[in-house]
Structure 1
């Protein structure tokens, strides 16, 4: 079968080569570090060469840019893309000129087959409605319930027994897969009142999970197609990756449809049933259109399953490489055997700092793109034309020396802490959200931020108290950071689990 992307790149390369031979011309760079841009094909050759490490490539370019911004020139017919790691620009985009930078048509079109009009792919009144309905899920009462019921049950009834068995048998687990299962069960319980049992002891191989992974990956790959027309043609003729995407989305939507149908039946049979979960509130709000509700369900699965599991995967990798941080974590864990699980987790300052530090280096969402609704000028002087894509890049921002100092590459939770000399304890000091936009900022700041931290801290305390996580990798091996809609560790995270004596201390 002909590789359509390869054929297009070959033809574009030939055209550009002929042009260059005749004119000995290429578009000048705005700085010596920007990708070389050629007539017709823009920077496609560099983009293609770095297609498996775009985040790392962008970070290198941005770290050398005097403004922390560069323009990624796309082929003729494509929208040009501004990439920035400048906090002033991020604040401008996410807050000051929020209305001028919506998701936009390009983002909406690229992800509409998978996410539909769900909150991550919505603008305007649709986005406002979904955010308003969803916000009830994250009040203090709901958060306490989330930690003390859903997370506790999943942790003690499923995750810890699986890790204990792996430790007893000296077997290898893919911790990335385990954490995805854990997070998936949690989001389904709290948001939909449904337990998929994905982290059951047998670790069932579900068609939905495979389809969901395919849908996320292929939808994300659309963004990096040399020309959007490529994936659109493949979709039109139902071939290649677009055929696979169509099949995957069908499976995902069928799964979500079943959740919605069961919830409708449950509400119909018991009209006095309290709306204790997000899905019930959506259906009781009068929105009975299945497609709209399914879109919201899928968006919540993306948010609840992929982001927290990605953050924890990289976190346990970093802990395994930094024994001094692990030691400090264990000291804090031993000091928190309080009666209230919610308060115990909430007050774990060093653990909170270490999670922030981990996400600085390995953000669950490494980049986010908006589309300019009108002409503008960014604070650093970059000119924006209507329709241009503007991407802020948390992955690169966590690696900027001017933002984090010469020791930016070090995993250092202490950079988030300040010692209270009077009480002799650490206090957490949050960073400017536009310097650290891991959870976005401004009107679209992540609603689930506190819930995510509570869940992650509970997992960290529950796991590290009992086990040591040991990566099964050759000495010196560095896992590869990959990103689709969210980040991944390439080829999973194989580990062995070792029981530690500290596990004898109970959490109750």
Structure 2
């Protein structure tokens, strides 16, 4: 199905297009008439709409304050501004009604798509779950099983046959399997290509996400008019969202259909929500979809860039292997699954992952909504109902934060005497900062470390020397990530003592 505008919306779009400069971007309310002159014109925005990330990054880095002003929009990479937005004046910068309207059909009222008291209640409940040792153990177990039982078999087969694989696609499938098991204890087996229902869900989810991303690049009256008339891409969203909701609701019904003792013995997020007894079926459905959205849009993208960077730098891969060997040797665990404590001791691997995220943050542009007139610490005025965006991609190329070698891939910048040292979240806001800091930050590192170590111990990848970024909603690798796989053979000497079998 073609997503182009039908004739009527196209005519309306052309008619109103040139009035867009005088209305708020993605807001149907009138703006304050006190808007100051802008540094970047609307017509420049239109001209660069197909390279918005690269263009705004160039402008931000060229600005003395690392901040630029566009029509009804401020974009910044200034750490002091980011601290002000995400912490000091947090209440003045919610996600906003525009953001929530764009994601309303897909994310409903889930934690990603909520503000205020509704967000606080979900945040408090989710915080309790993520703070337990049990959930971290479960996550590690699910990741380990998925990698050992499915991913390793696929990579081994590719190594034996010489077939090329799209590693990003495999990582994407793995992430969906993991998050569904952690959230609902349901295994969609998407890494094994799933059943008909799973394939229908994924197809619909991707179609809906494509329409949602398109909304960000349109004035709200355009996509709302299409939705009202049931035409263009909005027609497709309406057709596909039912399959997304049906899949998630089926899981909710299955969970509620369990016996009470079975629910109590379960450790997934959904079972705990069912036990509370105060949540509607629709809200439980939204929990599932929000978690799938969060997992699918972040971890696979980060790990794609990780494996590319490591595969093009043999010295980095060798040092990671040395660290794994050393940790295994200290614990006497020469060929078993890596434990939580062992993963935590891998400071260099943690540094490589952090350096990957610095250069290739999965979500490089994060928008907020200004509730009341404000002034940022660098003197930039922000008017009520303006959009404020922080650009974490540009921050990775700021000499004032990372030094003259900021564009180099250098994991050592995160280490002090061999021990990992985190940076301020306002200089490295990949996991956000302030009250909305990502609750899954620690578990994300656990998953990434477990996946990275398990794969690197056994496989090497032949990859392209260079690649291009593609920004849609996340910072993906353009054209996917095709790899040729080689399975490692023999033994490595464990620098912490003993030998490590690499069979």
> Normalising by the residue count of structure 1, what TM-score does the alignment of the two structures yield?
0.87
Q: Distance in 2 between matches of 1:370 and 1:430?
A: 25
Q: Is 1:220 equivalent to 2:213 in the alignment?
A: yes
- For 2:259 and 2:51, the matched residues in 1 are separated by 47
Q: Aligned to 1:224, what secondary structure does the other structure show?
A: coil
What is residue 211 of structure 1 aligned with on the other side? 204
Distance 1:147 1:359 in 2: 21
CA spacing shift, 1:16–1:251, aligned 2, 3 Å: closer
Match of 1:438 among 426, 430, 437: 430
> What residue is the counterpart of 1:309 in the other structure?
300
Distance 2:327 2:206 in 1: 37
Contact 2:135 2:267 in 1 (8 A): no
Q: Distance in 1 between matches of 2:403 and 2:207?
A: 38
Q: Secondary structure at the match of 1:206?
A: helix
> 3-state DSSP class of the match of 1:95?
helix
C-alpha distance in structure 2 between counterparts of 1:482 and 1:396, whole Å = 13
1:289 paired to 2:289: no
SS at match of 1:83: strand
Residue 345 of structure 1: aligned partner? 343
What does 1:356-367 correspond to in 2, within 5 Å? 356-367=354-365
- SS of the residue corresponding to residue 166 of structure 1 reads helix
The SS at the match of 1:53 is helix
2:110 to 112, 118, 124: 118
Question: Which blocks of at least 5 consecutive residues in structure 2 are unaligned?
Answer: 22-34, 493-499
User: Matched residue pairs, number?
Assistant: 471
How far the C-alpha of 1:93 sits from its partner, in A, is 0.7
Contact 1:158 1:201 (8 Å CA) reproduced = no
Q: Does residue 251 of structure 1 match 2:243?
A: yes
**CA RMSD after TM alignment:** 2.5
Change (3 A) 1:506 1:11: farther
Aligned to 1:178: 170
- Deviation, 1:370, is 1.2
User: Which residue in the other structure is 1:501 paired with?
Assistant: 489
1:459 to 434, 451, 456: 451
Indicate yes or no: 2:153 matched with 1:161.
Answer: yes
Residue equivalent to 1:54:
52
CA distance in 1, matches of 2:194, 2:182: 23
Instruction: Indicate conservation of the 8 Å contact 1:440/1:446, yes or no.
Output: yes
The residue matched to 1:390 in structure 2 has which SS? Answer: strand
User: Any idea what the Cα deviations from partners look like across 1:47-68, whole Å, max 9, x if unmatched?
Assistant: 3333332111111000000111
Compute the displacement of 1:503 (Å).
7.2
Q: Alpha carbons of 1:272 and 1:104: their partners in 2 closer, same or farther (altered >3 Å)?
A: closer
TM-score (norm. length: structure 2): 0.88
Match of 1:396 in 2: 394
CA distance in structure 2 between the partners assigned to 1:175 and 1:503 by the alignment? 25
Q: Deviation per CA, 1:62-88: give whole Å up to 9, x if none.
A: 000011111121xxxxxx111110000
Measured against aligned partners, the alpha-carbon deviations of 1:335-378 in whole angstroms (never above 9, x if no partner) come to 22234611111111011001111011111111211111111111
Go from structure 1 to structure 2 and tell me whether the alpha carbon gap of 1:6 and 1:437 turns closer, same or farther (over 3 Å shift).
Answer: farther
The Cα shift of 1:412 comes to: 0.7
C-alpha separation in 1, matches of 2:470 and 2:404: 22
Q: How does 1:414-429 map to 2 (within 5 A)?
A: 414-419=412-417, 426-429=418-421
* Residue 242 (structure 1) aligned with residue 242 (structure 2): no
Residue 99 of structure 1, CA deviation: 1.0
- 2:469 pairs with 1:480: yes
Distance 1:156 1:203 in 2: 21
- Whole-Å separation in 2 of the counterparts to 1:325 and 1:278: 37
Contact between 2:140 and 2:447, CA under 8 Å: does it hold in 1?
no
Aligned: 1:327 with 2:318: yes
- Show the counterpart of 1:422: none
Residues 15-74 of structure 1 show CA distances to partners (whole Å, capped at 9, x for unaligned) of 899xxxxxxxxx9975xxx53x2xxxxx1x33333333211111100000011111121x
Q: Aligned equivalents of 1:291 and 1:140: distance in 2? A: 26
Inter-partner Cα distance in structure 1 for 2:152 and 2:82: 40
Shift of 1:14: 7.4
Task: Name the stretch that deviates more: 207-216 or 116-125.
Answer: 207-216
Q: 1:147 to 1:276 in 2, by over 3 A?
A: closer
Q: Pick from 400, 408, 411: which aligns with 2:409?
A: 411
